[in-house]
Amino acid sequence: MIRNDILISKISDEVKNRLSGEGSGHDWWHIYRVWKMAKYIGKRENADMLIVELATLLHDIADWKFHGGDETVGPRLAAEILAQNGISPDSIASIVKIIEEVSFKGAGIKTEPSTLEGKIVQDADRLDAIGAIGIARAFATGAKFDEVFHDPSIPAQIYASPAEYIASKGKKGRTVVNHFYEKLLLLRDLMNTQTGKKVAEERHRFMEEYLNRFFEEWEGQS
Ligand code: NI
């Protein structure tokens, strides 16, 4: 039996190699942050940490957006990597299920994973979209889609469905600041775990503070 920490570091090295140079915001450092956060939450929620860590490391291994919409690529690749590393079939099944439940849907979609470990991975993934990192990611994504960062004449939209929200990406009339109201400020209420809720609360407050200051500066206030 290989020790869990050796197994985890072996798989994290493999994920790091595969994702290096991935510029979509789902790069290795996204995985790294979500992994650290999942460990933080998992320890406080008494979860099976091997499952939490491996599922987190593999949750974006083949982001569907880059595989022609084929949602089975990620789970299949994850299962392959896990099997090669001698993970038991039971554990592989649990991990693959988590990846299926959390990885393909945009962060704003309210789908609750069926296990504690899945809930933790989803919370950690969503937490990476808010707070200081979330602000950075929002502006970086906006730039990629050629969105202006703010235009007071364009109101925030409420999207009827996540699909509609995703389809609107890159369309004219979207702004990065509106993205906070359309998605990022809604994530706090989607947390599954108590620990996730606590972290989200603090990150949410920081984004509100940031936006207040942003609007003050926009209007020439000190
Ligand atoms: Ni992710």
Ligand 1 centroid distance, CA of 57 (Å) = 9
Ligand 1 centroid distance, CA of 113 (Å) = 15
Give the per-residue pLDDT at 57. Answer: 96
Ligand 1 centroid distance, CA of 26 (Å) = 6
Q: Of 4, 110, 13, which Cα lies nearest the Cα of 52? A: 4
Query: 77 Cβ partners below 8 Å, 6+ apart?
Result: 58, 61, 62
Task: Give the number of other CB atoms < 10 A from CB of residue 24.
Answer: 14
Ligand 1 centroid distance, CA of 60 (Å) = 5
Ligand 1 centroid distance, CA of 13 (Å) = 17
Ligand 1 centroid distance, CA of 103 (Å) = 6
The region, left, alpha or beta by phi > 0 then psi within -120 to 50, assigned to residue 39 is alpha
Q: Where are the alpha helices (DSSP H) in 128-193?
A: 131-144, 162-167, 176-182
Splitting the chain (222 residues) into consecutive groups of 10 residues, what average pLDDT does each group show?
Answer: 85 88 69 97 97 95 64 88 95 95 60 94 96 96 91 82 67 86 93 98 98 96 84
- How far apart, in whole angstroms, are the C-alpha atoms of residue 211 and residue 121? 28
Ligand 1 centroid distance, CA of 85 (Å) = 22
Ligand 1 centroid distance, CA of 62 (Å) = 11
Give the per-residue pLDDT at 107. Answer: 45
Give the per-residue pLDDT at 61. Answer: 85
